């Protein structure tokens, strides 16, 4: 087993725990490769840890370990997904819905990981294509894409189609399209439904719609969502997995479909999705008096 290490070095706690983990790998002779960012931060045993860019890392390891929060894992998924390598998220952030285990649990599970005692969970992803005249831009989303009005105070109009059939023109602050994995992120805050991660579905969630009748919609994963938007200010913002990527005008057409590749997440904590829901969302325990 050769590990690939990706880390969010902007987090002080990551800067504290990562050198100790790298030292453990070195002292026990466990092969690992690291990103250029990690190599520039730490000068531990430079002859032992091979260094690659984030886009190359997945081709040189059997498993990527991501140190940080959910945002770090989303970035890792984008960088290494072409390689098909599985990713283990180590929560060194605040909430950690996607990150599987804590730093302490990583040490406890290390022998199991090396021995192959873990499961792989496939998570669907989205392919986004933005077309303007003869220009075409493509993006990959693990969680979601969001079209927002930006700094302008008024709502925008978003003309939306499923395949080629007109659905609705949303009058809202924006529109969000997400995977089942992304249903626990921004979509949840915007009033969207929670979906189990093994579902094959796409969620369309309007953000602060002007009409209460404009509700979130769940569609099957074989559909293509298309939309165009209009704003009095003309310029809107398209974000993918929390990163702003493009300014949008009424001349852009945005198409969203299921991507051909899934993200492979390492599962070794023994916790189910429903356990994570109860824990992260502070859902209560059943009243004991009914079971006594």
Catalytic residues: 70
Cα 91 from Cα 97, distance rounded (Å): 9
Q: Compute φ and ψ for 232, nearest 5 degrees.
A: -60, -30
Cα 209 from Cα 82, distance rounded (Å): 36
Question: What does the block give as tokens for 57?
Answer: 């890392």
H-type helices in the chain, by residue range?
A: 12-27, 36-41, 54-57, 70-80, 103-115, 186-189, 273-280
Q: Compute φ and ψ for 240, nearest 5 degrees.
A: -125, 120
Q: What is the DSSP string of 181-246?
A: GGGGTHHHHTTPPP--TT--EEEEEEES-SSTT---EEEETT--EEEEEE-TT--EEEEETTEEEE
Cα 155 from Cα 161, distance rounded (Å): 19
Orientation of helix 103-115 relative to helix 12-27, angle to 10°: 30
State the pairing for strand pair 253-258/225-230. Answer: antiparallel
Give residue for tokens 């945005």: 254
Compute CA 39 distance to the chain's CA centroid, rounded to the nearest angstrom. Answer: 25
26 within 8 A of 48, measured Cβ to Cβ = yes
């Amino acid at each position: 087993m050769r590990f690939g290490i990706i880390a969010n070095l902007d987090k002080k706690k990551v800067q504290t725990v990562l050198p100790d983990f790298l030292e453990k790998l070195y002292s026990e002779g466990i092969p690992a490769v690291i990103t250029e960012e990690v190599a520039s931060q730490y000068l531990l045993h430079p002859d032992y840890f091979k260094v690659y860019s984030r886009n190359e890392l997945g081709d040189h390891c059997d498993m990527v370990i991501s140190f940080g929060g959910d945002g770090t894992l989303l970035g890792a998924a984008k960088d290494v997904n072409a390689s098909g390598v599985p990713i283990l998220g180590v929560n060194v952030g605040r909430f950690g819905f996607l990150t599987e285990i804590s730093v302490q649990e990583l040490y406890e599970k290390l022998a199991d990981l090396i021995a192959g005692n873990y499961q792989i969970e496939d998570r669907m992803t989205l392919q986004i294509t933005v077309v303007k005249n003869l220009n075409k831009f493509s993006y990959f989303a693990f969680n979601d894409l969001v079209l927002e009005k930006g700094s302008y105070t008024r709502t925008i109009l978003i003309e939306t189609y499923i395949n080629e059939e007109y659905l609705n023109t949303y009058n809202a602050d924006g529109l969000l399209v997400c995977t089942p994995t992304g249903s626990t992120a921004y979509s949840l805050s915007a009033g969207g439904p929670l979906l189990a991660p093994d579902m094959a579905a796409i969620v369309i969630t309007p953000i602060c719609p002007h009409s209460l009748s404009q509700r979130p919609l769940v569609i099957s994963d074989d559909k293509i969502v298309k939309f165009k938007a209009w704003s009095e200010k003309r310029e809107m913002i398209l974000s993918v997995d929390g990163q702003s990527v493009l300014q949008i005008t009424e001349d852009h057409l945005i198409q969203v479909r299921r991507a051909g590749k899934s993200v492979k997440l390492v599962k070794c904590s023994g916790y189910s999705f429903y356990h994570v829901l109860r824990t992260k969302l502070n859902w209560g325990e059943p009243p004991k008096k009914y079971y006594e």
